[in-house]
Structure formats: structure tokens, C-alpha cells
Amino acid sequence: MNGQSTPERDRAPHRKTRGGLAVRTPGRIVGKRKRFWDQVNNNLVALISLVLAITSLGYNTWRNETTEVQRNWRDASFRILVEIGELNQIILMRRYFSDADRAQSSNGNDPIPQPESWVRGWGNVAMVRDLTSVMPEPLPTQGRRLFDQWQNRARALHDRSEPEARDQAADTLLKSVEELRTQVVMLIDDLR
């Protein structure tokens, strides 16, 4: 053996360490590392479990957030329908029964007969505007449009002296209410 080392000689049963001798694990070659794919193969079950756990956690988080948003939209949608239903009744009452208001009024010069319907109308339209602001488009736009139209036409709706202006204001408001109602019902239908 001419000074060359043989694999048997390199694979001594013990190796030298600082504190003495340490036993080598049989079958391992000192100084060689396991290849990357061997490590992956040895830990494949753990890696698959980790990927599944992270994927499941991500999907579950996304699903919970989506469900919560849809639940909030659904609740707000039903509340909007109630509010615009009440607003619709106020518009129709002011349109068709304004002469009855005049007869019930103690003096025919009240600026706004039945002021509670005036106040309720403002409350309904403000609630609709606020609720639609947290909904997906086009509901925020339509909620603001309904509020603006109420702001511009509510006085004409309560004006007994000009039936033509009152009818035009009622038509415009009823059209806006119906457009909003249609969009809300479509949103509820899409949330299934």
C-alpha cells in the first residue's frame, strides 16, 4: 500500500474529536453531506403536511372574511329595503293625499303639513345613504343620488299649491327608489 488511503482506512470505526474518540454511524461517509433531494425525500410527509396546513389556514381565513362581508351586506340590504319601503310610502302619501292634509290642517297656511312625515322622510333617506356607502358599487352612487334628489325635491313634494311640481317630484323620487330597490335585490340574489 504505497501511501494511498483506501476507503476502508478512511472509514475507521472511531473518529477523533477534541475530547476523545466518537463512534461513527455505520454507512455514513465523513465529510459528505446528504444531497438536498435526499433530505426532501426523507421529510416528504412533513413537508406535505406543512403545505396542506398553510393552504387550509389561508383558505379558511379567506372564506371566513368573505362570509362575514356577505353577511353584513345581506343585513344592510334588508335594512335598506325596509327604509326605502317606508320612504316610498311617504312619497305616495304626499302625492295622493295632500288634499286630505289641507282639510286636517287647522289653518291652511302651514309650510309643511304633517311635519312628522317630513322628518321621517329625511331620516329614511339619510339612513339609506349611510347604509349604501358600505355596499359594493353601484349602490353607494345610487344612495347618494336618492339623497340628493330628496334634498332637491322634498319641498316640492310637500307643496300643496303646485300639484304639477309635486307630481314631477314624486315621479323622480319614486324612480330613484325603484332603481335602488332593483340593485339591492340583485345584490341579495348574487350573495347566495
If you average pLDDT over residues 47-67, what whole number do you get? 95
Query: What is the per-residue pLDDT for 156?
Result: 83
CA distance 53 to 41: 19
Which of 31-35, 44-48, 97-101 has the largest mean confidence?
44-48
Q: What is the pTM of this model?
A: 0.66
Please write the tens of the pLDDT for every residue from 61-74: 999 999 999 999 99
**Per-residue DSSP letter, 136:** P
Task: Flag the least confident range among 29-33, 41-45, 125-129, 153-157.
Answer: 29-33
Strands 20-23 and 14-17: antiparallel
Rg, Å, the chain Cα set? 39
- Grid coordinates representing 184 are 339591492
In degrees, rounded to 5, the angle at the alpha carbon of residue 82 between the alpha carbons of residues 181 and 152 is 65
Closest CA to 176 of 113, 132, 136: 132
> Could you report how far apart the first and last alpha carbons of the chain are, in Å?
83
Cell numbers for 100: 286630505
Q: Which of 138, 134, 139, 140 is nearest to 71 (CA)?
A: 134
Concatenating the DSSP letter of every residue in 3-70 gives S---HHHHS-SEEEETTEEEEPPTTPPTTPPPPHHHHHHHTHHHHHHHHHHHHHHHHHHHHHHHHHHH
- Per-residue model confidence as pLDDT tens digits over 115-141: 777 788 899 999 999 999 999 999 999
Half-sphere exposure of 179 (CA within 13 A, CB side): 16
**pLDDT given for residue 95 in this prediction:** 80
Residue 150 has pLDDT above 50, yes or no: yes
Position 63 scores a pLDDT of 94
- What angle, 0 to 180 degrees and rounded to 10, lies between the N-to-C axes of helices 139-157 and 115-132? 170
What single-letter DSSP state applies at residue 106? S
